[in-house]
Structure formats: C-alpha cells, structure tokens
C-alpha cells in the first residue's frame, strides 16, 4: 500500500499538484478548514472548537476523528482525575500537526475568507 505524503518523510515538500490531490481525497470542505483554523489558533477540544467556529457537534466531531485518523492531528485524553476535579466529562485534546498546518495553508488559498471566520483565540486558554 502506498503511503500518503504526510505520513512518510519525503526528501522534499510535495508539489502543489500532489497537495491538491490530497485535499480532494480528504474532502477538504469549508467546515474542515474551519476546524483546522480553530486548532491552529489554540482551540484544543471539541466544545471549544464548536464555540470558535459556530459549527454543531455533529459536524465537528466527525471532522476531528477523520483528521486524527489521517495524521493531520494528534489527540490525547486528559487525565480522568482532572475532569473529576472540575466536575465535568473527560476531554480529548487535539493538536494540529505539521502536515495539518500545511493542509491549512492550502485551505487558506482555497477559502480566502477563512482567516476572518474563526474568532482570534480562546477567551481562556485551554490545556494543550
């Protein structure tokens, strides 16, 4: 099975044509681009991303799972003790990878209004 350009360590960056093909394969929709943008601005868990983008949970969580599966995000569950101490459900924190950032840069070229679509940063810092 051939490895995708973001999961292998290429000798040089992929050509714009390769990136465009990968974007099409990944179905880089506007909501997906919004989620990547929110992650790049410091929103690290689902509800935080929903607040920043205005997207519903039925859109955000499938996108996060897909991006994580494709290697464009890293994710980890917080300690159960932290969630219990704050009397809330355990959170899964997401972080955009270098490959995810490259995909976001390409999305920014596709969707020119992307930069204004996500509020500037978290009102309170989320744990990364």
Lowest mean per-residue pLDDT among 44-48, 83-87, 92-96, 106-110: 106-110
Mean pLDDT to the nearest integer, 20-24: 53
Q: What is the pLDDT of residue 121?
A: 53
Each residue's pLDDT tens digit, 51-87: 999 999 999 999 999 999 999 999 999 999 999 999 9
Q: What's the whole-model pTM score?
A: 0.71
16-117 placed in CATH 1.10.3720.10: no
Residue 38 φ/ψ region, left for φ over 0, alpha for ψ in the -120 to 50 degree band, beta for the rest? alpha
* Residue 123 token pair: 């009102």
CA-based max dimension of the chain: 49
């Amino acid at each position: 099975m051939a490895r995708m350009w973001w999961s292998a360590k290429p000798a040089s960056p992929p050509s714009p044509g390769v990136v465009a093909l990968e974007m099409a394969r990944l179905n880089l929709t506007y909501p997906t681009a919004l989620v990547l943008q929110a992650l790049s601005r410091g929103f690290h868990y689902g509800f935080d991303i929903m607040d920043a983008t205005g997207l519903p949970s039925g859109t955000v969580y499938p996108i996060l799972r897909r991006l994580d599966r494709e290697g464009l995000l890293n994710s980890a569950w917080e300690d159960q003790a932290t969630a219990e101490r704050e009397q809330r459900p355990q959170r899964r924190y997401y972080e955009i990878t270098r490959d995810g950032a490259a995909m976001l840069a390409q999305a920014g070229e596709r969707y020119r209004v992307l930069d204004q679509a996500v509020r500037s940063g978290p009102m309170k810092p989320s744990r990364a």
